[in-house]
Chain A
C-alpha cells in the first residue's frame, strides 16, 4: 500500500465538511460505514483515509450496503451507517431504506448530492433523494451549509434510534462536504417537534391490568417492539406471572424464548397451527410492540372475535390503526410491562394451557423425508447442530417461513428477517452485517435460490473481510413461494417462477474464493452442515431440495385464522 499522502483539499487547521462528518461519526461510536463511492462523495471518502476508528466497507452494490447496515443494527442495537454517491448510487439504497422503515430499524444513510448551485437543474447524477425518499424515512435532511453537518448528524443519530426507530437520510451536496466547517462538533439539537416519551401513564396501565380480571384464556402477542425495547425479561416475567401462553410475530422472534413451555411460536399466515388455534380461541389478547399486521390478522372483521384486545406500543399512531382495542398504553414496552407486572394477578389458566398443549400435540410442525430432501429438514438440522445458538438471517419466501417455523429463537437480537417489506435479497447482506457486528458468533443465512441471486455479489464482501458467514441456499429451482400460490390458488398454472438454469452455486462460491459444499440428499447432510460450521471462513452450502415443497400451515391472504389450512388440501381452495 502506498504511504498516505496529505489531502489536497485540506486547509490548515480547518475541517472540511467531510472531515467534520467523519469526526462526528467517530464521536457517535460508528465502527463501520457500509458504502460505495462516486464523484460527489470523494470529499467524504477522502476524510475516511485519516480515521482510525471507523472501517469503511466497500460493498458491491448499494442495496447490499443498506441491508448490511440493517443486519448490523439488528445484531447490535446500534444504528447502521451507509454512505453512497448521488444519483444511481443513492437510488440504489431506496429498497434498503424502505425495508428499514417498515421494520423500524435505526439507520443513517448519507447520500452525496450535486453542488447546491446545481440543485434542481438536472445536473449529472442528480436525483432528488430528499424528495423521493420522503415516504420511506423517519426523517431526512438536505444539508446546504457545512456548518450544519455536526448538528444534523447529532439529530440523525438521535432520531433514528429513539422512540420507534427508523432510517434517517442525510443528503450532502458536494460543496457542503468540501466546504469549511467551523461549527462546534457537539452542538445543540434543534428538534422542537420531536419528543421522546420517557414516562408512561400509570392510570392507563392500571386500566389495562383490570382487563385481565376473570380472563381464562389470555394470550400475549410479542412483536418487534419487545426486541427493540429489550423487554424480553419483563415479558417473560409477565407471562410466567399470568401463566399466559405466548405467541410471537416474525420479527418478535427473540422477544420470548420459543422453547419456553408457554411459547406457541409464531402466529400468522404461516405460523404454527397451535399459535393460530390459540389466537381464535383466546378470550384476551395483549399485543406488546406488534402492529397487528395483515399477515397476522388476515381479516380484521374476524380477528379474535369476542376477545378483549389490549395494545402496548411506543407509537401512538399504531393504537387503533388496524384493530379497535379495549385498552392501550403508549410507551416503551420495557417500562410498560414492568409496571403492568405489578398490577396483574396470576390467572387460573390450567385448562387453557392444557388446551394449547393439545393443539401442540395434535397439529405439530412436521415434514417427511420420504420423497427427497425437504428444505425443512435442512433448517431443522441447522437448528439442532448449532444448538439453537446461531444468529440467523433469512431471505424472503418459503425459505423465510420454514426458517421461522423450524429455527426456534430464544435470545433477542439473534434473528433477522425482512418482515414489513418482504425484500428478496436481504438474506446474505444482512448476515454479513450481523457478522460485522458480532464477529465471534456463528452467523447463518438461510436463503432461496431466487433471493440469493439478487445480492449474491456480496459474497466478495464476505470473502475480503474473512467473515465466516454460512450461507444455505435452499435451491428448489423455483420462486417457491409464488409457485406455491399459483399451485394452490391458480390451478397450478405456473407462470414466471421457473428458475431452471440456475448457476452451479458451489462453483459460483469458489469463484468468489468462498468454500462451496453441496447437499443433495438427506444422507450425509448433517455431516456436511457440521463441516460448514467447522470451516474457518465463509461457506456456501448449496442444498438441492425438493422442487415443489409447500409451506403449511397456511392462512390464505385476506382470510382470518379460522380459515387456516393445516395440511395440503385435496381439493381446490376457494
Chain B
C-alpha cells in the first residue's frame, strides 16, 4: 500500500465554465508536470453555466501553487484556490461491497452501526455499505472492512465547501 504523507495532500477547488474540454484543460496542467491527481469530482454548481471541480493531489506546495496559477489562467476557469481544513469542510462518500457468511454477518453489522454507515443493498451473499465522512473516517472504516471479503470499493473523491458567508 502506498503511504500517504498527509501534509503534502492538497485540495484545490475550481469553478469552471460548463463547456466541453474544460476537464482536459485543467487535467493537462497537472499532467504536464507529471503530477498525479488523487481524486477528482466534477459536478454542476447552482448556476448551470458553471461547474465545480474539486481535485486532490500530492506534492510540493510551491509546485502546486504554480499549477493553481497556471490553471487559473485558463480562459474557462473562473477561479481556483486551495483549501485547508481550517477554512473549509470536506466530505467523501464510499460504497463497499462485502461478501458475508453466516458467521461474519453479525460482526459486519456491528461495525456498520458503530461507524454510522448504512446498508443500501443486500442479497444472500453480499451487502453494499455506504459511508459519508471525512477522508480519515473512510480510511479507517476501509481498514476494518478489509478483515472481511471486500469484493469492490468505490470512493467519490473529496468535496469541499468553505465555511461561513463566503463561497468556495
A: which residues have CB within 8 A of B? 130-131, 134-135, 138-140, 142, 159, 191-194, 315-317, 320-321
Selected contact of A134 from candidates B25, B50, B66, B78, CB within 8 Å: B25
Q: Whole-angstrom distance between the alpha carbons of A142 and B50 in the complex? A: 19
Q: Is the CB of A317 within 8 A of B28?
A: no
The answer, yes or no, to whether B1 is at the interface (CB within 8 Å) is no
Residues of B within 8 A of A315 (CB): 73
Knowing A192-B17, A193-B76 are in contact, say whether A134-B69 is a contact too (CB < 8 A): no
Q: Is the CB of B75 within 8 A of A317?
A: no
Residues of B within 8 A of A142 (CB): 20-21
Q: Is the CB of B25 within 8 A of A193?
A: no
The answer, yes or no, to whether B16 is at the interface (CB within 8 Å) is yes
Q: Is the CB of A130 within 8 A of B75?
A: no
Which has the most chain B C-beta neighbours within 10 Å: A138, A142, A193? A193
Q: Is the CB of B73 within 8 A of A317?
A: yes
Residues of A within 8 A of B78 (CB): 192-193
Chain A nearest CB: distance from B82 CB in Å?
A: 15
The residue on B at minimum CB distance from A168 is B75
Chain B nearest CB: distance from A109 CB in Å?
A: 16
The answer, yes or no, to whether B113 is at the interface (CB within 8 Å) is no
Q: Whole-angstrom distance between the alpha carbons of A321 and B32 in the complex? A: 15
The answer, yes or no, to whether B24 is at the interface (CB within 8 Å) is yes
Q: Is the CB of B74 within 8 A of A130?
A: no
Q: Is the CB of B69 within 8 A of A131?
A: no
Q: Whole-angstrom distance between the alpha carbons of A286 and B73 in the complex? A: 24
The residue on B at minimum CB distance from A138 is B75
Residues of B within 8 A of A140 (CB): 21
Q: Is the CB of A321 within 8 A of B21?
A: no
Residues B44-69 near A (CB distance < 8 A)? 49-50, 62, 65-66, 69
Knowing A317-B66, A317-B69 are in contact, say whether A131-B75 is a contact too (CB < 8 A): no
The answer, yes or no, to whether B126 is at the interface (CB within 8 Å) is no
Selected contact of A191 from candidates B66, B69, B75, CB within 8 Å: B75
Q: Is the CB of A193 within 8 A of B32?
A: no
Q: Is the CB of A321 within 8 A of B66?
A: yes
Residues of A within 8 A of B77 (CB): 193
Q: Is the CB of A193 within 8 A of B24?
A: no
Knowing A135-B28, A192-B17, A193-B16 are in contact, say whether A159-B75 is a contact too (CB < 8 A): yes
Q: Whole-angstrom distance between the alpha carbons of A316 and B73 in the complex? A: 8
Selected contact of B69 from candidates A135, A159, A193, A316, CB within 8 Å: A316
Residues of A within 8 A of B135 (CB): none
Beyond the given pairs A135-B32, A191-B75, A192-B50, 12 more chain A to chain B contacts, judged by CB atoms under 8 angstroms and listed by A's residue number, are A130-B21, A131-B21, A138-B75, A139-B74, A139-B75, A139-B76, A192-B78, A193-B16, A193-B17, A193-B74, A193-B75, A317-B73
Residues of A within 8 A of B49 (CB): 192
Contact mask B98-122 → A, CB, 8 Å, 1/0? 0000000000000000000000000
Residues of B within 8 A of A191 (CB): 75
Residues of A within 8 A of B16 (CB): 193
Q: Is the CB of A134 within 8 A of B74?
A: no
The answer, yes or no, to whether B70 is at the interface (CB within 8 Å) is yes
Residues of B within 8 A of A139 (CB): 74-76
Q: Is the CB of A194 within 8 A of B75?
A: yes
Which has the most chain B C-beta neighbours within 10 Å: A130, A142, A192? A192
The answer, yes or no, to whether B72 is at the interface (CB within 8 Å) is yes
27 contacts between A and B (CB under 8 A): A130-B21, A131-B24, A134-B21, A134-B25, A134-B28, A135-B32, A139-B74, A139-B75, A140-B21, A159-B75, A191-B75, A192-B49, A192-B78, A193-B16, A193-B17, A193-B75, A193-B77, A193-B79, A194-B75, A316-B73, A317-B66, A317-B69, A317-B70, A317-B72, A320-B65, A320-B66, A321-B66
Residues of B within 8 A of A130 (CB): 21
Residues of A within 8 A of B74 (CB): 139, 193
Chain B nearest CB: distance from A86 CB in Å?
A: 18
Residues of A within 8 A of B66 (CB): 317, 320-321
Which has the most chain A C-beta neighbours within 10 Å: B32, B69, B75? B75
Q: Whole-angstrom distance between the alpha carbons of A315 and B66 in the complex? A: 12
Q: Whole-angstrom distance between the alpha carbons of A317 and B72 in the complex? A: 9
Residues of B within 8 A of A135 (CB): 28, 32
The residue on A at minimum CB distance from B68 is A317
Residues of A within 8 A of B17 (CB): 192-193
Residues of A within 8 A of B69 (CB): 316-317
Chain B nearest CB: distance from A323 CB in Å?
A: 13
Residues of B within 8 A of A159 (CB): 75
The residue on A at minimum CB distance from B77 is A193
The residue on A at minimum CB distance from B31 is A135
Which has the most chain B C-beta neighbours within 10 Å: A142, A191, A317? A317
Q: Whole-angstrom distance between the alpha carbons of A321 and B49 in the complex? A: 32
Q: Whole-angstrom distance between the alpha carbons of A317 and B24 in the complex? A: 19
Chain A nearest CB: distance from B12 CB in Å?
A: 15
Chain A nearest CB: distance from B167 CB in Å?
A: 15
Q: Is the CB of B24 within 8 A of A134?
A: yes
Residues of A within 8 A of B21 (CB): 130-131, 134, 140, 142
Q: Whole-angstrom distance between the alpha carbons of A276 and B66 in the complex? A: 28
The residue on A at minimum CB distance from B74 is A193
Chain B nearest CB: distance from A106 CB in Å?
A: 14
The residue on B at minimum CB distance from A191 is B75
Closest 10 pairs (CB-CB, A-B)? A317-B69, A139-B75, A193-B78, A194-B75, A317-B70, A193-B77, A193-B76, A192-B78, A317-B73, A193-B75
Q: Whole-angstrom distance between the alpha carbons of A135 and B30 in the complex? A: 11
Q: Whole-angstrom distance between the alpha carbons of A315 and B74 in the complex? A: 12
The residue on A at minimum CB distance from B32 is A135
The residue on A at minimum CB distance from B80 is A193
Residues of A within 8 A of B28 (CB): 134-135
Residues of B within 8 A of A316 (CB): 69, 72-73
Chain A nearest CB: distance from B164 CB in Å?
A: 24
The residue on A at minimum CB distance from B14 is A193
Chain A nearest CB: distance from B146 CB in Å?
A: 39
The residue on B at minimum CB distance from A317 is B69
